[in-house]
Structure 1
């Protein structure tokens, strides 16, 4: 049996985080978010996308990091997570 993943529309995510849908589109254009798409090409955000969005919003709102800085930080986090998983294998 295939497990269904809960997804959220762009309007639902925008309302949930009190941001404009254009902000989410900008984050996607900048490569910061990569929501999946429905058959009709509608953006679908999963819980992992929301977790990443929370990090982005924390960096921009709370710490004043610009989007270029956010990209660098997110890439570094992914590399560190990958290195940690690799380390734990040994």
Structure 2
């Protein structure tokens, strides 16, 4: 899990996700699999705790990562009816 410290961290993660086009697959509500740049798969969990929205990726980055950003972009596109990856 990471704590968002500044907008630049998130901006870098979003740019990486847009460049790499990782695949996102829903496992179940709140749990997703996202492909990494080397073909490996990471699990991204989304949930609420203590009134906060939590996004937790099991990749080693420990900062706002491209996998979490890819999931956010995927969900936003799906909400707009445009589908995701």
Higher normalized strand content (fraction of residues): 2
Higher normalized helix content (fraction of residues): 1
Q: TM-score, normalised by structure 1?
A: 0.31
Higher RCO (C-alpha under 8 Å, 6+ residues apart)? 2
Q: TM-score, normalised by structure 2?
A: 0.33
Larger radius of gyration: 1
